[in-house]
Amino acid sequence: MTEEKLIKAAISGDYMMGTFPRYRSSSRLLIYEDCDKGACSKETKTVEQMLLDPAFFRAAGKSLGWNGEGKCECRIVEGIHHYQCPANSNYDGQYHQKKMIDALWEGSSVEEFIKTL
C-alpha cells in the first residue's frame, strides 16, 4: 500500500469527519477546515501527525476492513512488544499503529512500513 492510499482510506473511514479533509500528496499535508463558533480557518496536519493519531488508524481500519477475526495476543520480550494474531486477522487500527511504532523503533522508515500493509 502507498502512503496516499492509506490516508485516503482513513478519510473514507471518517477520519476528521465534519472538517472536509483533503490530502495533498505533493506537500504530504492534510488540509481541513477548523470551525469554531462559526469562524472557519484552514488548518493542516502532516503525515507524521496523522500517523501518531489513534483515530487515523481506527478510520483506516474501518475503511479497509481491519475488524479482526480474533484477538491478537501481545507478549513483551526484553521491553519490545511482539504481536501474534490469528491468520488473516488485522485486529483493528491499534494493532497496525503499534506495529508501525515497533518498526520505527527497529530502524524502518514510515514508507517501508506502509508498504507492508
Number of H helices, E strands in the chain: 5, 5
Strand-pair category, 29-36 with 80-84: unpaired
- Whole-model pTM above 0.95? no
Which pLDDT score is estimated for 16?
83
Which pLDDT score is estimated for 26?
82
Coil, strand or helix: which one is 38? Answer: coil
- Rounded alpha-carbon distances, angstroms, from residue 12 to 6, 15, 109: 10, 7, 25
Full pLDDT tens readout for the chain, 117 residues = 888 888 898 888 888 877 788 888 888 888 888 776 667 788 888 888 888 888 888 888 888 877 655 455 666 767 766 666 554 444 467 777 888 888 888 898 888 888 887
Which pLDDT score is estimated for 82?
63
Which pLDDT score is estimated for 21?
84
Which pLDDT score is estimated for 86?
52
110 closest CA partner among 58, 63, 50? 50
